[in-house]
């Protein structure tokens, strides 16, 4: 281990403190050299116990005090504000198949490439997504002691999914006494009002301790109609033409009552398109020339969902003999959520001789069937008479861990042995969806009135009942694991002791995502989904060495071997170097390889049959056929049991400098490249790969017998998930901390910023790399500035956050102001305003509001908040 220097304390601030967390870490680290030496813990990204300032990789720590000084009420919002959340993350979006969960995606590499841990143990992937992505809403904020963010790949330590980085949520275990907190958010705009109540109790004796927390949190949905930028707007361009979808409308789709001629050659509104039901007549639906009966879905739909959560956390520790303890942790969460979409909408076929056909079927240009009757046309219809689609979800998460920990051989070796069972179970019910087969029958019989869905005719009302469907979905992840870790310090070398850690773990997962039979059959308008289920078992062994080479130079080597029963094995090495030749400068570098196991959905999702158009240009060339015809071919999409792991290589180089005791900063350069990324191809791309003989494993093209020298006719295609794409990201992280005595208190300034240099995507082997930086949703810059003043029991905190321009979006700034005051009687009041200037979220300056902006921006607007905490 290194002797602590003033710079080591600085690293404990700059490396281990986010822009909202640096001051407290710096003060704690600087209190005393001897105290810092004693603070040896298992740092995220390593199994060897050490001070965070000795870590060779960049780690950001958000501690309990800093969490309180943000005024945020849940861990998802806390992580979304960090600059490492470069392109944003999925939030509680209404009406999606993700059931109001919240995710984190470090480096923009995907939520399923960010490992989320609780107390150093992986949280299994959420079954709503069918991936390794973790629902952050299930983790109670009250129970958190600190959040550690490792911004370097770490598969050598944690295995799969840690390609973009690691979020390790450390729960509280050392509180004595009791406290409660009650608080509320009061946005100045409609929606997003929230309330919370928290309770904490802790006690300890000579040999035993326990801590219990309980938390209730409720937040209202935001409806699209409650925001000026997303509510329905149909604008007249003023030149005598109709408004054009996507340019002159907001919150409006062509899915009101719109017919499309065979082959989608023309579009036409159906009926009179009354404005008391629809949004009027607009032009060019989906780019098809003609008119559409528009529908203002934003008058009805929720933008973000509602959430009602109850969470508890219990941890106990019993020292059954000196140096050896038995521990038990239990985490329980129950969440009820609500989402709303506008009434169901969808395409269905209508006979060409129907009285609802708005096209001139007598014209020679209108196609006819063999018997001379007009060809059927398609209609895109909104089922207004059924009312909005409401999805209600209820989910439960239970996580139990029991284990032993302690010291062996007179304290020279530490051990931990644990067993764990984790269960995530949910059910979802969706109201007022539509059976496609039934609506086609009711339309053909004339009982359903296409031009007046609000008709009160008894035949029409009866048809509404026969067409309606209630949808169900049952979801489950059951995860069982056990592991052992040993660590300590070994032989003394001239420059210090060798640190080491070894361990092993075994785990099994059962996954189920069961959709109702209607959606399985593809017979629902307004929703879709395929069931998926699977089981996975794995075991892993890992080891790590920390070797002091010279005075100030340390090499860390880590390796992990994983064995999965469903795709094979993976070995992940990592090497890191930390060098400190003078007190004021530390250099650090790391290189590693990692992997991501295929998602269970990608492996086991049920296959769906469809018939899509394709042009078999290669067979035409061999047969001399010109022009080459386009025809429909049977094809199947879904899971692929033959998938391999995604593989990654990462590099990080950083420098930490403390030119004067009160000022410290760090700069880190990083590069991550991921190959064999799982994706799907178009049918034409499948045929291209077949032609060159490089079809990925699991993708199959079936043909009939050869015709002379020409390949046989297409019979069917298995176009399943495959290992095809490449992602590479390069960027720079900057952290700065400065503090001084000023205005009878302590003033601190913290800056955190990330600048991405490139983010290249290669979607398939035939396409060149594309740099997506600065395109919509992909800003190359994020930053934050924190100014804090603290004196006695009063702390004032100001946070300025910045997201750079991207695509049609301009740069975006928000400001938060928070104050905390402690009373002598044990009470503490906190209050402030988030988004002080009431800034709108980012808006596409060309096309207007896009729901994808929810990933990057908060939509609550200005949010005054207040809370009171009392300790006993």
Q: 52 or 683, which is more confident? A: 683
The pLDDT > 90 percentage for the chain reads: 63
> Which residue, 93, 432, 343, is CA-closest to 230?
93
pLDDT at 27: 33
Phi, psi of 66 (to 5 degrees): -70, -35
Query: What pLDDT is stored for residue 810 in this prediction?
Result: 95
CA–CA separation, 580 and 584 (whole Å): 8
Integer Cα distance of 160 and 147 in angstroms: 20
Residue with tokens 């075991």: 539
DSSP state of 690: H
Whether 12 has a pLDDT exceeding 70, the answer reads: no
Q: At what angle do helices 6-14 and 22-30 cross, to 10 degrees?
A: 160
Give residue 25's pLDDT band: very low, low, confident or very high (50, 70, 90): very low
Highest mean pLDDT among 312-326, 344-358, 704-718: 312-326
User: Quick one: DSSP state of residue 57?
Assistant: S
Tell me what pLDDT residue 52 has: 67
510-551 tens-digit pLDDT: 999 999 999 888 899 888 888 888 899 999 999 999 999 998
Statement: residue 37 has pLDDT above 60: no
Residues 6+ apart with CB under 8 A from 398: 330, 331, 332, 421, 422, 423
CB 643 within 8 A of CB 676: no
Question: How many CB atoms are located within 10 Å of the residue 362 CB?
Answer: 7
- Range 342-371 average pLDDT: 91
Burial class (CB in 10 A: 0-12, 13-18, 19+), 397: buried
What pLDDT is stored for residue 320 in this prediction? 94
Identify the pLDDT of residue 180: 95
Give the pLDDT confidence score for residue 2 in this predicted structure: 37
Tokens of residue 353, six digits? 């001789």
Q: Poorest-confidence range of 6-20, 179-193, 209-223, 270-284?
A: 6-20
Structure tokens, 41: 């813990």
Report the percentage of the chain scoring pLDDT > 70.
95
- E-only strand ranges, 692-776: 700-703, 714-718, 722-742, 745-762, 770-771
Tokens for 573?
Answer: 């090495």
Judged on CB neighbours under 10 Å (0-12, 13-18, 19+), 667 is middle
299 or 541, higher pLDDT:
541
- Chain centre distance of CA 291: 38
Q: Which of 236-240, 726-730, 786-790 has the lowest mean pLDDT?
A: 236-240
Q: Which two tokens stand for residue 227?
A: 């925001």
pLDDT band of residue 309 (cuts 50, 70, 90) is very high
Contact 360, 367 (CB under 8 A): no
Question: How many other C-beta atoms are found inside a 10 Å radius of the C-beta of residue 811?
Answer: 12
Q: What is the mean pLDDT of residues 220-243?
A: 86
**Can you tell me the mean pLDDT for 473-495?**
93
How far apart CA 461 and CA 455 sit, in angstroms, is: 8
Whether the predicted pLDDT of 14 surpasses 70: no
Query: Phi and psi (nearest 5°) for 344?
Result: -55, 145
pLDDT for 751 beyond 70: yes
Those residues whose C-beta lies under 8 Å from the C-beta of residue 624, and which sit 6 or more positions away, are none
At 662-675, the pLDDT tens digits run: 999 999 999 999 99
Task: Give the integer Cα–Cα distance in Å for 122 and 158.
Answer: 8
Residue range 157-198, pLDDT digits in tens: 999 999 999 999 999 988 899 999 999 999 999 999 999 999
Higher pLDDT, 14 or 218: 218
Residue 412: φ, ψ to 5°: -85, -10
On average, the pLDDT of the chain sits at 89
Mean pLDDT to the nearest integer, 430-445: 92
Average confidence (pLDDT) over 601-628: 87
pTM of the model: 0.88
- C-alpha span between 678 and 724 (Å, rounded): 6
Check if the beta carbon of residue 507 is closer than 8 Å to that of residue 132.
no
Q: Considering only 383-387, 578-582, 844-848, which range has the smallest mean pLDDT?
A: 844-848
Lowest mean pLDDT among 6-10, 389-393, 626-630: 6-10
Q: 570: which 2 tokens? A: 């993976």
Cβ(510)–Cβ(524) under 8 Å?
A: no
The answer to whether residue 766 scores a pLDDT higher than 90 is no
Is 632 exposed, middle or buried, given 0-12, 13-18 or 19+ CB atoms closer than 10 A?
A: exposed
pLDDT for residue 30 is more than 70: no
Contacts of 71 (CB under 8 A, 6+ apart): 816, 818, 830, 831, 832, 834, 865, 867
State the Cα–Cα distance between residues 115 and 129, nearest whole angstrom: 15
Tokens of 405: 């920990």
Higher-confidence residue: 363 or 482?
482
Buried b / exposed e over 450-486, threshold 16 CB at 10 Å, is bebbebeeeebeebbeebbbebebebbbbbebebebb
- Could you read off the pLDDT of 201-221 as tens digits, one per residue? 999 999 999 999 999 999 999
State the Cα–Cα distance between residues 850 and 227, nearest whole angstrom: 13
H or E, element range at 686: helix 683-692
Binning the chain into helix, strand and coil, the percentages to the nearest 5 are 15, 50, 35
Is residue 414 over pLDDT 90? yes
Which band of pLDDT confidence, cut at 50, 70 and 90, is reported for residue 852? confident
- Do 668 and 652 contact (CB within 8 A), yes or no? yes
CB of 373 within 8 A of CB of 180? Answer: no
For residue 476, what are the β-bridge partners? 425, 512
**pLDDT classification of 129: cutoffs 50, 70, 90:** confident
Q: Are 26 and 7 in contact (CB under 8 A)?
A: no
Whether the bond into 627 is cis, omega within 30 of 0: yes
Q: Pick the range with the lowest mean pLDDT from 414-423, 842-851, 861-870.
A: 842-851
Cβ neighbours of residue 55 under 8 Å, at least 6 residues apart? 15, 16, 43, 45, 46, 578
């Amino acid at each position: 281990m290194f002797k602590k220097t003033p710079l080591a304390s600085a690293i404990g601030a700059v490396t281990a403190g986010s822009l909202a967390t640096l001051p407290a870490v710096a003060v704690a680290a600087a209190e005393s050299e001897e105290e810092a030496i004693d603070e040896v813990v298992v740092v995220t990204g390593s199994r060897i116990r050490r001070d965070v300032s000795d870590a060779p990789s960049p780690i950001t720590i958000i501690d309990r005090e800093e969490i309180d000084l943000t005024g945020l009420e849940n861990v998802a919002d806390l992580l979304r504000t960090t600059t490492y959340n470069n392109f944003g993350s999925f939030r509680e979006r209404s009406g999606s198949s993700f059931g109001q969960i919240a995710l984190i995606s470090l480096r923009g590499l995907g939520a399923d490439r960010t490992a989320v841990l609780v107390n150093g143990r992986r949280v299994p992937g959420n079954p709503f997504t069918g991936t390794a992505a973790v629902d952050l809403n299930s983790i109670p904020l009250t129970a958190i002691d600190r959040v550690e963010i490792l911004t370097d790949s770490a598969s050598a330590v944690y295995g799969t999914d840690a390609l973009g980085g690691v979020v390790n949520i450390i729960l509280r275990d050392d509180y004595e006494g009791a406290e409660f907190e009650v608080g509320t958010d009061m946005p100045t705009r409609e929606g997003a009002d929230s309330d919370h109540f928290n309770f904490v109790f802790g006690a300890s004796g000579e040999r035993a301790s326990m801590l219990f927390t309980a938390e209730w949190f409720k937040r209202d949905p935001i409806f699209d109609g409650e925001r000026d930028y997303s509510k329905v707007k149909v604008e007249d361009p003023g030149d005598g033409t109709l408004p054009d979808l996507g340019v002159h409308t907001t919150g409006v789709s062509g899915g009101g009552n719109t017919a499309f001629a065979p082959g989608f050659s023309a579009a036409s509104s159906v009926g009179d398109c009354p404005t008391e039901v629809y949004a009027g007549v607009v032009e060019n639906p989906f780019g098809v020339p003609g008119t559409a009966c528009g529908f203002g879905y934003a008058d009805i739909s929720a933008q973000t969902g509602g959430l009602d959560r109850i969470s508890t956390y219990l941890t106990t520790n019993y020292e059954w003999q000196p140096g050896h303890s038995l521990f038990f942790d239990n985490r329980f969460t129950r969440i009820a959520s609500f989402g709303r979409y506008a009434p169901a909408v969808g395409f269905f076929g209508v006979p060409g001789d129907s009285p609802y056909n708005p096209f001139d079927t007598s014209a020679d240009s209108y196609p006819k069937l063999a018997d001379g009757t007009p060809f059927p046309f398609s209609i895109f219809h909104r089922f207004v008479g059924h009312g909005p689609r409401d999805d209600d979800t209820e989910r439960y998460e239970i996580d139990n861990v029991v284990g032993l920990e302690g010291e062996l051989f007179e304290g020279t070796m530490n051990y931990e042995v644990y067993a764990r069972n984790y269960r995530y179970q949910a059910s979802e019910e969706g109201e007022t969806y539509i059976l496609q087969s039934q609506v086609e029958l009711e339309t053909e019989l004339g009982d359903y009135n296409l031009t007046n869905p609000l008709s009160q005719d008894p035949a029409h009302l009866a048809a509404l009942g026969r067409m309606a469907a209630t949808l169900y979905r049952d979801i489950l992840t059951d995860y069982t694991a056990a592991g052992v870790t040993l660590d300590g310090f070994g032989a003394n070398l001239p420059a210090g002791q060798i640190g080491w850690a070894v361990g092993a773990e075994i785990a099994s997962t059962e996954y189920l995502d069961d959709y109702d039979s209607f959606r399985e059959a593809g017979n629902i308008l307004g929703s879709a989904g395929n069931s998926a289920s699977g089981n996975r078992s794995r075991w892993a062994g890992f080891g790590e060495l920390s070797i002091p080479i010279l005075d100030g130079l340390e090499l860390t080597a880590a390796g992990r071997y994983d064995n999965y029963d469903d795709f094979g094995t993976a070995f992940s090495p990592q090497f890191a170097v930390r060098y400190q030749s003078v007190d004021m400068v530390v250099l650090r570098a790391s290189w590693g390889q990692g992997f991501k196991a295929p998602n269970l959905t990608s492996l086991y999702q049920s296959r769906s049959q469809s018939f899509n158009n394709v042009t078999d240009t290669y067979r035409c060339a061999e047969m001399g056929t010109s022009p080459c015809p386009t025809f429909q071919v049977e094809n199947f999409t879904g899971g692929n049991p033959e998938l391999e792991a995604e593989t990654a290589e990462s590099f990080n180089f950083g420098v930490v400098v403390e030119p004067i005791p009160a000022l410290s900063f760090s700069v880190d350069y990083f590069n991550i490249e991921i190959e064999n990324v799982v994706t799907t191809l178009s049918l034409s791309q499948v045929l291209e790969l077949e032609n060159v003989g490089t079809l990925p494993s699991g993708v199959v093209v079936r043909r009939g017998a050869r015709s002379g020298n020409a390949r046989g006719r297409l019979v069917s295609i298995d176009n399943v998930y495959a290992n095809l794409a490449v992602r590479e990201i390069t960027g720079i992280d900057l952290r700065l901390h400065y503090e001084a005595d000023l205005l009878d208190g302590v003033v601190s300034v913290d800056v955190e910023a990330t600048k991405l240099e490139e983010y290249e995507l290669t979607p398939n082997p035939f396409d060149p790399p594309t740099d997506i930086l600065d395109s919509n949703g992909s800003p190359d810059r994020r930053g934050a500035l924190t100014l804090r003043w603290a004196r006695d029991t009063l702390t004032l905190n100001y946070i300025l956050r910045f997201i750079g321009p991207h695509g049609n979006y301009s740069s975006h700034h928000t400001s938060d102001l928070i104050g905390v005051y402690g009373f002598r009687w044990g009470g503490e009041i906190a209050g402030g305003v988030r988004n002080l200037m009431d800034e709108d979220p980012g808006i596409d300056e060309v096309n207007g509001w896009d729901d994808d902006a929810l990933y990057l921006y908060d939509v609550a607007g200005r949010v005054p908040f207040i809370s009171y905490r009392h300790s006993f």
